[in-house]
């Protein structure tokens, strides 16, 4: 199927009513199910058989992939358990069918056409399903509460568990902590010097976009030096945290930066 025909098919589908599953050829429905399972299992041979040579992926973040590029990525993919699609719909336009469904956090729109006597996917468009803002905010609030509890317990491992494997933590007076191991090391070093009380986080606003939530807020805490005779430090400041939505729907911190409002910093 040519690119011109693909765009024409998409335009026709915009005004074409949905069809009942019973009106969709059984071999097409079987091919669609098989292809979804093949992607989950990283079965490149089956995926190749059910995909047109002129295949194009219009992915998230404006990424466009050819069949060869997508196939190379599939071969590097770690197999997972197949997920049953939800919100599944079919539309017919001439001899082609559009198949729309949701898998996890992704909405898929694929165009199927007969090629050399068999059904193959000619094109796919992938969009991220925006999370419910109230649900996401509730998850972040719960995450912050658990984070504060771990901070005041002095539990570096628990604190680091709130971060992604490739997270970056940036705090004043020290180099950035990179990766889960680096974040753990950074918290461990800090908590050997101070115990924390009266810790508070106040979220000012959030921006949600696809897989990410950007939180801006203010913090306050009291730091008690564990060695020497230094006085407690009462500190407050601001932070910017990037939360990343995980495959299971949970949120973890991907990027985290804060700085003190105290004159001269900490």
The tens digit of pLDDT for each residue in 181-240 reads 999 999 999 999 999 999 999 999 999 988 899 999 999 999 999 987 789 999 999 999
**For the chain, percent of residues with pLDDT exceeding 90:** 75
Domains of the chain: 3-128 (3.10.450.50), 133-260 (3.10.450.50)
Instruction: Give CA torsion, residues 258, 259, 261, 266, to 10 deg.
Output: 130
Helix, strand, or coil here: 128? strand
Cα–Cα separations (whole angstroms), residue 140 to 150, 214, 215: 15, 10, 9
At 264 the pLDDT is 67
Q: Strand 86-93 relative to strand 18-19: parallel, antiparallel, unpaired?
A: antiparallel
Confidence of residue 19 (pLDDT cuts 50, 70, 90): confident
For residue 158, what is the enclosing H or E element? helix 156-160
Distance between CA atoms of residues 20 and 193, nearest Å: 66
What are the φ/ψ torsions at residue 208 (nearest 5 degrees)? -110, 130
Q: Say what the pTM is.
A: 0.67
The tens digit of pLDDT for each residue in 128-147 reads 888 888 999 999 999 999 99
Q: Which residues pair with 196 in a beta bridge?
A: 223
At 81 the pLDDT is 92
The tens digit of pLDDT for each residue in 26-42 reads 999 999 999 999 999 99
């Amino acid at each position: 199927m040519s690119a011109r025909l693909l765009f024409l098919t998409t335009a026709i589908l915009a005004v074409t009513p949905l069809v009942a599953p019973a009106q969709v050829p059984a071999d097409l429905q079987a091919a669609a199910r098989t292809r979804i399972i093949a992607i989950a299992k990283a079965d490149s041979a089956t995926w190749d058989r059910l995909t047109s040579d002129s295949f194009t992926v219009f992915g998230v973040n404006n990424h466009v992939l050819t069949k060869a590029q997508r196939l190379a990525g599939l071969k590097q993919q770690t197999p997972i358990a197949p997920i049953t699609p939800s919100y599944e719909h079919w539309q017919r336009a001439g001899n082609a069918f559009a198949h729309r469904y949701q898998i996890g956090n992704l909405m898929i729109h694929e165009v199927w056409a007969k090629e050399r006597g068999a059904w193959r996917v000619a094109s796919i468009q992938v969009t991220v399903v925006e999370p419910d803002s109230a649900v996401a905010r509730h998850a972040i609030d719960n995450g912050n509460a658990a984070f504060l509890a771990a901070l005041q317990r002095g539990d570096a491992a628990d604190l680091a568990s709130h971060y992604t494997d490739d997270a970056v933590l940036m705090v004043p007076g020290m180099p950035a902590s990179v990766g889960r191991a680096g974040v753990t090391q950074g918290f461990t070093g800090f908590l050997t010097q101070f115990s924390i009380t009266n810790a508070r986080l106040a979220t000012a606003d959030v921006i949600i976009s696809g897989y990410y939530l950007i939180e801006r807020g203010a913090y306050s805490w009291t730091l008690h030096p564990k060695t020497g005779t230094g006085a407690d430090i009462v500190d407050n400041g601001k932070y910017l945290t990037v939360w990343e939505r995980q495959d299971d729907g949970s949120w973890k911190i991907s990027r985290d930066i804060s700085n003190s409002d105290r004159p001269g910093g900490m």
